[in-house]
Structure 1
Amino acid sequence: MSFLFLFLFLAAIVGVFKPYLGGWKRWHFGLAAFASFILVGIFAPEPDAASLREAETSEKGQSAAAAPTGGKVEAAAAARADESNWDYSESTDEMRGTTTKFARVVSANEVDLDFPYGVVNGYLTVRQQKKDGLSIIFSVDKGQILCHSFSDGYVSVKFDDQPIRRFSCTGASDGSSDLAFILNERSFLASLKKSKKVIIEGEFFQKGNQQFTFKTEGLNWQ
């Protein structure tokens, strides 16, 4: 039916430009074209609902098939971020135009150092600066780490299931007692980058040796 009205519409359009029926004027053909156009719209077949649903399902399927590439990349990136407990930061010395880089991980356990320090976390920090080069720093929130160069201080370190190693350590130049610089930095860093877990045991004032465990997998350090 709609095809018939479409044919009449086209025939009327031709008559508007060149009347071909005796007694018909252009406006007659124009009126016929308008009426035919309305009837074409009324009698045009409606889209099949099943076809529409099939088309929508197909489009959704194509979208879903295309999505995993980006989704998998984001999921993989998130998984890598979750695997690593390292926090990275930088500080800039505007006067000297130098940048110091840090990577720090917090201990998985806490240790009670008693009054006045209480329960504390341990921190393992990798630092790179132009003046002092590479530094490995073991620190706590509060407390006194007994690690001085004049007393042959050291910390015991266990990388994963490797044998326990001793690393000499020294205190901070400003006298801060809550941190210690671990020496033989390059060797320590090489083992650290390959490790998943590190245990550091240090001696504390009036508390003896205490151990802090660090989840160290995923260190990104050049």
Structure 2
Amino acid sequence: MKKLLLGFLLCSVGFGATADWKYSEKVDEMRGTTQYLASLVPEKEDEGVAMTLIAEGYKNKEAYNFHFSLNGAEFDCKVGEICSGFMKADNGQIKELLFEIDKKNQLLGFVIGMGSFAKELSGAKTLYVELPILDKGMMQFKYEPNKLKWSM
């Protein structure tokens, strides 16, 4: 019985488990289109705030757009303005990350300069993103973005 309990406890402990990309699709029957999405949650929440990284895919093969979906807070940026944050891939340099708030859903921030962002993301084992959050200042989120099945 003790061995069984010990085995159960060892199996239930996470050994550096990382979140993988989750894939979904939205079908618009009226227009005859399908939208493909891949989402990646950060390693952990920060003060009850989580920011999911979302890639939009073309024909479920190629990422063409990236945005962040905020949960538990709001971006400290106004609709219609170019907002500024930072990103860092692995042990590389800290780079500016420009984004803009969606007009219909202000909890979404769309990356400006998708090519540059995709280049950083594609080879990274770890990606740090720091964006301005209302009443909380700059908040950092850590992602492990390897294994996106789409080309960029």
Shorter-normalised TM range: 0.7 to 0.9
* In structure 2, C-alpha distance between the alignment counterparts of 1:217 and 1:92, rounded to whole Å: 27
Q: Determine if contact 1:84/1:218 at 8 Å carries over to the other structure.
A: no
Match of 2:99 among 169, 172, 187: 169
* In structure 2, C-alpha distance between the alignment counterparts of 1:107 and 1:88, rounded to whole Å: 16
- 1:1-222 superposed matches below 5 A: 85-112=20-47, 119-128=48-57, 134-148=64-78, 150-174=80-104, 176-222=105-151
- 202-211 or 134-143: bigger deviation: 134-143
* In structure 1, C-alpha distance between the alignment counterparts of 2:82 and 2:30, rounded to whole Å: 36
Unaligned runs of 5+ in 1: 1-81, 113-118
Unaligned runs of 5+ in 2: 1-16
* In structure 2, C-alpha distance between the alignment counterparts of 1:219 and 1:84, rounded to whole Å: 12
More strand by share: 2
More helix by share: 1
* In structure 2, C-alpha distance between the alignment counterparts of 1:87 and 1:150, rounded to whole Å: 30
Which contiguous aligned blocks of 4+ residues in structure 1 show a shift greater than 4 angstroms?
none
Shift of 1:129: 5.6
- The CA RMSD over aligned residues, in Å, is 2.1
* In structure 2, C-alpha distance between the alignment counterparts of 1:96 and 1:129, rounded to whole Å: 16
Secondary structure in 2 matching 1:111? coil
Q: Determine if contact 1:148/1:169 at 8 Å carries over to the other structure.
A: no
Q: Indicate the residue corresponding to 2:12 in structure 1.
A: none
Which structure carries more relative contact order (alpha carbon 8 Å, separation 6+)? Answer: 2
Percent identity, aligned pairs only?
27
Shift of 1:84: 6.2
For the pair shown, which has the larger CA radius of gyration, 1 or 2? 1
Question: Are the structure 2 counterparts of residues 178 and 83 from structure 1 closer, same or farther at C-alpha, using a change threshold of 3 Å?
Answer: closer
Aligned length: 132
Shift of 1:179: 2.1
